[in-house]
């Protein structure tokens, strides 16, 4: 009987388990929501044990749905929300504080203190000092949980991102490890030397004893003995990197954009890390058998979230899929340009203070024009990231791979193709992140063949080609640039 690869995709709001077959087809999936905890304004936490329980549940459910047993599983791949920080007791395996979720701003004050070290940190980690990354979150826990720093120094406490936490639990506490992609998001890992950075550990006052060992993404991370099985965890990588891998973006210049709540664009830059001067992050794309590929990464804070706002805030649609119908019920945007800077703007502006603004309304403006402008805004923000990426990588791009909830909008995808003047390719498998982890694990176990064979398995469900000329595209982008500038000017007068 054919075996399957089990992919565990632990995301911010839910955990998923998916079984893939040799052709990359989905055999069964199971998903469970994970509740987030908001102890104060801007703080986002989750109970790490609840995350673990959800993973156990979805694995069981997925196997049951597929009518499979562990004997049918070839190997396990883990992909996870990145940067989220857990500290637990080495003996009992119990967390000493909630998992601090990547979005949480509770370590902002800590980051402010390191502002003068911005360049220094960027030159070692490729990251911009910001509470997103694990270092300040870990420092927050050690500063606030009484006696924890001393206990960590005595080797009694362990730190990990979600992948480490799951590996530790799945292996019944036998393995404390992470992979290079997750390590590269902690702000404690030197992406040039490929080691935990002693200077940064000193700067953030983190005892080295509590850090996991770092391995390539395709490594034997131990067996999932919690389930009394000998099935090996053969792959670990962060979610955005797994998506890049799942899209088979193996060549320098290959690029993908995930249109989720926010949008994350990653471009493979090959074996050389490129340090950005324009607000992109430099990160490890993957490490296969010790051979590292790097990526440039840009983020849009409000992507699909603006569609949620149309539904829940403006209440002009009752579900996200309705947005396309609304947007195409009018012949154009009626001159409306929407800058959905609800929480500031990400790459390349990194402006925390600018707020959402709608320009160009007349008495003829309807909700449908606003829906259309909202979808266009997702595409315009993506173009801002894309332009910086093309410039820094000195590559002219011919296509973009896409995934994520908002990529279901055909209007958005066509408009994206129009203003970028390149082809947009949407894959058949919508679970690209989980597929990436399955590919990585299956390559290690020889379940899948070479990267070349994986590339050949790629299946494009739909391709969008530019339908307007370059001059019209440029004109549309000029109105956006003007709107962004005005929104940012307005902030200055507040
Ligand atoms: P995440 O992983 O960040 O939770 P998903 O990839 O599940 O995100 O995508 C969810 C987002 O996609 C939501 O913000 C939602 O508004 C948007 N979305 C879902 N379906 C559609 C659609 N048909 N058209 C436009 N946006 C959509």
Q: Report how far ligand 1's centroid is from the alpha carbon of 261 (Å).
A: 6
Residue 184 domain flag: yes
Tell me what pLDDT residue 484 has.
Answer: 97
Residues having CB within 6 Å of any atom of ligand 1: 11, 13, 260-261, 304-305, 307-308, 320-321, 323, 404-406, 408-409
Calculate the alpha carbon distances from 192 to 74, 82, 103, 125, 196 in Å.
34, 20, 26, 8, 11
Pocket test for ligand 1, best of 307, 340, 414, 416 (most atoms within 8 A of CB): 307
Q: Does residue 340 lie within any of the structural domains?
A: no
Residue 357 lies in a domain: no
pLDDT in tens, 438-463: 999 999 999 998 888 889 888 899 99
CA-nearest residue for atom 22, ligand 1, is 321
The answer to whether residue 379 is domain-embedded is no
- Residue identifier of the C-alpha nearest atom 2 of ligand 1: 260
Count how many domains the chain has.
Answer: 1
pLDDT value for 493: 59
| Distance in Å from the first CA to the final CA of the chain | 67
> Looking at the domain assignment, is residue 407 inside a domain?
no
Domain assignment of residue 324, yes or no: no
What's the pLDDT tens digit per position in 369-408?
Answer: 999 999 999 999 999 999 999 888 887 888 899 998 899 9
This prediction's pTM: 0.91
127 lies in a domain?
yes
Q: Does residue 9 form part of some domain?
A: yes
Please write the tens of the pLDDT for every residue from 63-107: 999 999 999 999 999 999 999 999 999 999 999 999 999 988 899
> How many Cα atoms sit within 13 Å of 239 on the Cβ side?
24
CA 305–ligand 1 middle distance (angstroms)? 7
The band of 492, judged by pLDDT with boundaries at 50, 70 and 90, is: low
Domain range enclosing 151: 4-239
Beta bridge partners of residue 288, listed in sequence order: 291
Atom from ligand 1 closest to the CA of residue 11: 2
pLDDT score of 494: 53
- C-alpha of residue 311 to centroid of ligand 1, in Å: 12
Testing ligand 1's pocket by substitution, the residue of 238, 243, 299, 304 carrying the most ligand atoms inside 8 A of its CB is 304
CA of 403 to the centre of ligand 1 (A): 10
Ligand 1 atom 25: residue of nearest CA:
406
Pocket test for ligand 1, best of 14, 261, 310 (most atoms within 8 A of CB): 261
**Mean local confidence (pLDDT), 298-320:** 92
CATH number at residue 165: 3.30.420.40
**Minimal CA–CA distance to 297: which of 273, 323, 326?**
273
Indicate the DSSP class of residue 105: -
């Amino acid at each position: 009987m054919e075996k399957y690869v089990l992919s565990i995709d632990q995301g911010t709001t839910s955990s998923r388990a998916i079984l893939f077959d040799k052709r990359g087809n989905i055999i069964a999936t199971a998903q469970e929501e994970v509740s987030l905890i908001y102890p104060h304004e801007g703080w986002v936490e989750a109970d790490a044990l609840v995350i673990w329980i959800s993973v156990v549940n979805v694995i069981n459910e997925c196997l049951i749905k597929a009518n499979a047993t562990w004997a049918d599983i070839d190997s396990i791949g883990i992909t996870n929300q990145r940067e989220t920080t857990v500290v637990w007791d080495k003996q009992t395996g119990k967390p000493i504080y909630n998992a601090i979720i990547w979005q949480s701003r509770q370590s902002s004050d800590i980051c402010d203190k390191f502002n003068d070290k911005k360049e220094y940190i960027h030159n070692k980690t490729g990251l911009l000092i910001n509470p997103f990354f694990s270092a300040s979150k870990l420092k927050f826990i050690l500063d606030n949980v009484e006696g924890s720093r001393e206990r960590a120094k005595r080797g009694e406490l362990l730190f990990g991102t979600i992948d480490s936490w799951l590996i530790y639990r799945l292996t019944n506490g036998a393995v404390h490890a992470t992979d290079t992609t997750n390590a590269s998001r902690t702000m404690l890992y030197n992406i040039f030397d490929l080691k935990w950075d002693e200077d940064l550990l000193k700067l953030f006052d983190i005892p080295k004893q509590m850090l996991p060992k770092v391995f390539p993404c395709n490594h034997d991370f131990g067996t999932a003995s919690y389930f009394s099985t000998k099935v090996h965890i053969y792959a670990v990588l962060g979610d955005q990197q797994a998506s890049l891998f799942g899209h088979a973006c193996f060549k320098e210049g290959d690029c993908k954009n995930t249109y989720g709540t926010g949008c994350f664009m990653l471009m493979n830059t090959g074996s050389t890390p490129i340090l950005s001067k324009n607000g992109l992050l430099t990160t490890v794309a993957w490490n296969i058998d010790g051979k590292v590929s790097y990526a440039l990464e840009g983020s849009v804070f409000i992507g699909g979230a603006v569609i949620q706002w149309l539904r829940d805030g403006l209440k002009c649609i009752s579900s996200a899929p309705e947005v396309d119908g609304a947007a195409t019920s009018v012949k154009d945007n009626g001159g409306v340009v929407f800058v959905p800077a609800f929480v500031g703007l990400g790459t390349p502006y990194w402006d925390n203070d600018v707020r959402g603004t709608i320009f160009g309304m007349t008495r003829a403006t309807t909700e449908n024009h606003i829906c259309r402008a909202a979808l266009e805004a997702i595409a315009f923000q993506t173009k801002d990231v894309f332009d910086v990426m093309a410039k820094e990588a000195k590559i002219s791009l011919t296509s973009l791979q896409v995934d994520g909830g908002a990529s279901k909008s055909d209007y958005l995808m066509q408009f994206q193709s129009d203003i970028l003047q390149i082809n947009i390719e949407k894959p058949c498998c919508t679970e690209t992140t989980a597929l990436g982890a399955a590919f990585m694990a299956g390559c290690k176990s020889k379940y899948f063949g070479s990267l070349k064979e994986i590339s050949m398995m790629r299946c494009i469900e739909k391709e969008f080609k530019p339908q307007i000329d370059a001059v019209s595209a440029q004109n549309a982008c000029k109105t956006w640039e003007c709107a962004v500038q005005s929104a940012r000017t307005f902030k200055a007068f507040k």
